[in-house]
Amino acid sequence: MSVMTRRSLAAIVASGVCVASASADLVVGWTIPTAFPSGAGNVPIGTSYSVGIGDQGAAAAGTNLSSVHQLASSGANNTSYTSPAGNGSQYAFSSNVWKAGDYYQASFSGTGYSDLSFGWDFTRSPTGPATWTVIMSVDGGSNWSTLLATFTPIVNSATPTGAGTWNTTTYNAAYTSSIALGAVADNAGSILVRVQATVDSVNSTGVYQAGGTARIDNVFINGTAVPAPGAIALLGVAGLAGLRRRR
């Protein structure tokens, strides 16, 4: 199934959030097309990791999907970034050592678009953070608004205890959500959207679990292209010309 077909299907089945129109234009998206470095001594570690510009849509400066962690508050455990199987795609963006406040962030421009929406596939391990929020800034991070107060990701596990594990060949719409960004994002030059943990990663007894992971994939920003003022003027002239011809 194609990426855009999966988006359309997700718009139909996602529940509890606003979804994008199937006719919306893709502004930018990430499907993690290449594997992260792996093997002894090669896995990226540290406070953050970015996959850079989207593999679809506009490739503008400052466009990236990143994961940011509070390494200093995590003791001796370094956050590591890996690319396991996605939700019906070859790779996903995964990281561990989660503390409340850590996040995945999409950075992009909404210039030339209205009716923007943010869609994402998300899952966690049994010890990954259980509750998350989605927030947005249109002023470089000085102020934030809440898009989704709280959501609980489905654990990446096989039925009957879960919705099925992520794999490279089969897309599972149960893991997909999409939410409208609102009028404040229309034509905004710089937009940040964070999927942010609100609790630490813990085990079944409530003890901090550094190895708990969260995984994101198929991140898509859709919107409606807004005609430039010059284009609108030309349409008006063409309309008048047509009216004169009919008369």
CATH assignment at residue 175:
2.60.120.260
Q: Return the exposure string of 184-195: e unless at least 16 CB atoms fall within 10 Å of the residue's CB, then b.
A: ebbebebbbbbb
> For the segment 34-71, what is each residue's pLDDT rounded down to a tens digit?
899 998 889 999 999 999 887 666 556 679 999 999 98
Q: What's the chain's length in residues?
A: 247
Separation of alpha carbons 134 and 36, rounded Å: 25
Tokens of 229: 């003022």
For the ranges 59-73, 162-176, 232-246, the one whose mean pLDDT is highest = 162-176
- The answer for residues whose C-beta is within 8 angstroms of residue 15's C-beta and 6 or more apart is none
Count: domains in the chain = 1
Separation of alpha carbons 117 and 195, rounded Å: 14
> Structural domain of residue 233, as residue ranges?
3-246
pLDDT value for 232: 46
Phi and psi, residue 147, nearest 5°: -90, -40
**Rounded to whole angstroms, what are the CA distances from 115 to 31, 145, 221, 246?**
22, 17, 10, 35
